Amino acid sequence: MSVRDVATRGGGEYDQLANVGASMSTAVKEMGPRGQFLSHVVGPLAGVSGQTIGQWARRGYIRSSQSSDAPRVYSYQDVAEAMVWDAQFSLALRVAHLRPPG
């Protein structure tokens, strides 16, 4: 059985996984920033260059929650945000439709 089959049939295991995912998501949002990474480290973790990370931070796609002064210092959560943006851009979504939060 594929993940798609479980997702489309609903009930049972899928509902339990969705509930666990929602509670984990809430816990992650409530925890403070963890770790300290510079852009040259964040970039490869997110699948892009450190320069791209800096551009995304200046444009508001991601934030540098540990320090917004030079040099920007990013947290683990910021790395995760960068991974999400990289995935969205990689899916060839039109950039015009992608806007920074807020």
Residue ranges covered by each domain of the chain: 1-31, 39-97
Q: Two tokens at 64?
A: 């540098």
Q: Is 55 exposed, middle or buried (0-12, 13-18, 19+ CB in 10 A)?
A: middle
Q: How far apart are CA 11 and CA 74, in angstroms?
A: 39
List pLDDT tens digits, range 45-99. Answer: 999 999 999 999 998 888 888 887 889 999 988 999 899 888 888 776 655 566 6
Question: Would you say residue 2 has pLDDT above 50?
Answer: no
Q: How far apart are CA 63 and CA 89, in angstroms?
A: 17
Confidence (pTM)? 0.61
Q: Two tokens at 67?
A: 């320090």
Q: How far apart are CA 61 and CA 99, in angstroms?
A: 7
Residue 8 pLDDT? 47
List pLDDT tens digits, range 5-56. Answer: 444 454 455 455 455 555 555 665 677 778 899 999 999 999 999 999 999 9
